[in-house]
Structure 1
Amino acid sequence: MYAAMQVAMQWKELDAAHLAVAMSAMEPSLRREHRERMARLDLQREAAQQQQTERQQRRAHRRHVAELIVGAVVALAMLGGGVYVAPDSWWLSTLLCGPSLLALVKIFVLRRSDPGDMAAVAGAARSSTNAGTPPPVI
């Protein structure tokens, strides 16, 4: 386009007929330059979009790995805690190693939680605490 403008500036002193001929001669080069510029912009846009997609995939992968690590640490901590407190209070051990362990690992690793999971955790907690309390003294 710059070359076309230079030619137009050089021919500005010509009459209208000669200028029209010059402009019609420059039109194909202007169209070609425009197509090239548009193709270059499309390629840049596609490259930027691909980079953004790759960044999002890397971020999602890092988050997934972090969730797996957190799930493993929580599971190991609950299992270790359940084994540690087992001799003193077996009911607390069942709370730590029972359905609550599975529900938390499912939340961290699979990233989903079903209402049935929470109902199982609540039922296990209720039965463990009921079994662990001594009967009332009359």
Structure 2
Amino acid sequence: MTTPEEGRTRRPTALEIATQWAQLPPEHLRVALEHLELELQREHARESARERHQAALERDRAASASALDAARIREEHVTERARIAAREGKEQRAHQLYLGGLVAGFVLAAGMLVGSVVVGLADRQWLAGLLAGPSLIALPVVFVLRRSDRLTARPRVLPIPSAPEQLPGDRPA
């Protein structure tokens, strides 16, 4: 049985109602069972209504979630298209830069070769050698490949002589 405080805070179950009515005569029990059946039908109707309401809420949540997913997918698609367009623009600019370097390298090499021939015909072979020598290879490489090798770009360092009389320019006589 329930205490009066518990009775106010919660509703009695169908079993508790049936046990209370079981102590009465059979005519009262029939009336109690009819009332119990009506109470159970009302409970069932309330539970069904609550389940239908929960199902409707779930459908609404699913619909709003699918709408949010569709919006997110559209946003990702737009972002990806913008990213692809930016990458294509960057690749096009890089291509133009490399093509400009190739043209500049060709013009520089051709100009140095022509200059070498012209200067060589004017009896300045040392200047023609400079124009047609290593600089003919090194300068176009800088323009075409956009790099310079560190080994060829800086002068070689000679080792420090062990004795002061053995300098690189000194030769024993």
Shorter-chain-normalised TM-score: which range?
A: 0.5 to 0.7
Is the alpha carbon distance of 1:40 and 1:102 closer, same or farther for their aligned partners in structure 2, counting shifts above 3 Å? same
Structure 2 Cα separation of the partners of residues 38 and 115 of structure 1: 50
Residue 80 (1) aligns with residue 114 (2): yes
Larger Rg: 2
Of 39, 52, 60, the residue aligned with 2:73 is: 39
Any gaps of 5 or more consecutive residues in structure 2? 1-52, 156-173
SS at match of 2:147: coil
Higher helix share: 1
TM-score, normalised to structure 1, is 0.66
Q: Percent identity?
A: 33
Work out which structure has the larger RCO, using CA pairs closer than 8 Å and 6 or more positions apart in sequence. 1
Q: Give the aligned partner of residue 93 of structure 1.
A: 128
CA deviation string 1:5-43 (max 9, x = no partner): xxxxxxxxxxxxxxxx49725222211110100010111
| Poorly superposed stretches of 4+, deviation over 4 Å | none
Q: Give the aligned partner of residue 115 of structure 1.
A: 150
Structure 2 Cα separation of the partners of residues 37 and 115 of structure 1: 53
Residue 61 (1) aligns with residue 95 (2): yes
Deviation at 1:119, TM superposition (A): 5.8
Aligned length: 102
Is the alpha carbon distance of 1:98 and 1:112 closer, same or farther for their aligned partners in structure 2, counting shifts above 3 Å? same
TM-score, normalised to structure 2, is 0.54
Q: Is the 8 A contact 1:82 1:93 kept in 2?
A: yes
SS at match of 2:148: coil
Quick one: which amino acid aligns to residue 105 of structure 2?
G
RMSD: 2.2
Deviation at 1:117, TM superposition (A): 2.7
Any gaps of 5 or more consecutive residues in structure 1? 1-20, 121-138
